[in-house]
Structure 1
Amino acid sequence: MCSLIVNMIDMSDKNRSIRGQPKSGRFWKNQKTRFATMKKSSGLKSSFEQKQKFREELKSIKSLSRELINQRNTVKEARKLKRKENLQRRKGNELKSEVLQVIKNPTKLKRMKKKALRAVQKRDTSNIKKH
């Protein structure tokens, strides 16, 4: 059994051209062939029917992939819309829940410290409900 394997290895070595020891020292690595020299066995001898089948398969695969991409995009758009609506709802809720204190005396502003002034915001007081 072992001698058979050795003989087969010897035959395959004879078929290959002798190129010497590789510089890397990896003698077990095969010599790579260039793409231009490789031959397509199935592409050259295929019949018209086989080509048609291949084209149909390609078309179906492409259409399926387009559908999947469209589904992903619609899901993304739905998420974006939902997020946008949630943000708008949050802003509206924040505005509703705000506690406002109207400063009628402007001299209070002069007495306030910087940190307190940062919290002060100007708003339109015409639409504020009076209790």
Structure 2
Amino acid sequence: MATHAHGLPYEDYEDEPRYAEEDGSAGWWELISLLVLVVAGVGLPVVGWLTGLAMVHQSHAWTRRDLWIAAVGPLPAVVAVVVWSAVDGQALPLHLGPLGVLILLGGAIAGLLGGAYLTVRAFVLA
């Protein structure tokens, strides 16, 4: 079994809480952070998503792996929508072009997908 530099096996290291003194349970901060991630990601393009992501990273309920998946996981969906708008500009009702789609829809898509993943990890699988 492969080990990390600290001597822990990879799979045990990834699921370990980020801070040993915290119990890693989800509470009000996590709920508010998820709401900001999803709602602000839709309402305030880019800035709202970044704010929600920063709030989520302040929580101790998720592992580093969860946070990375929530931040980077939605990237293929965002890229697919941007490429789709570049290839077929008539496909989307708002004729914004790729940059406009990235700015207006990128944070919304990333916030919704990342928020859904973290919600499942914190409240459903807990």
TM bracket, shorter-chain basis: under 0.3
TM-score by length of 2: 0.23
Which of the pair has the greater relative contact order for Cα pairs under 8 Å at 6+ separation? Answer: 2
For the pair shown, the structure with the greater C-alpha radius of gyration is: 1
TM-score by length of 1: 0.23
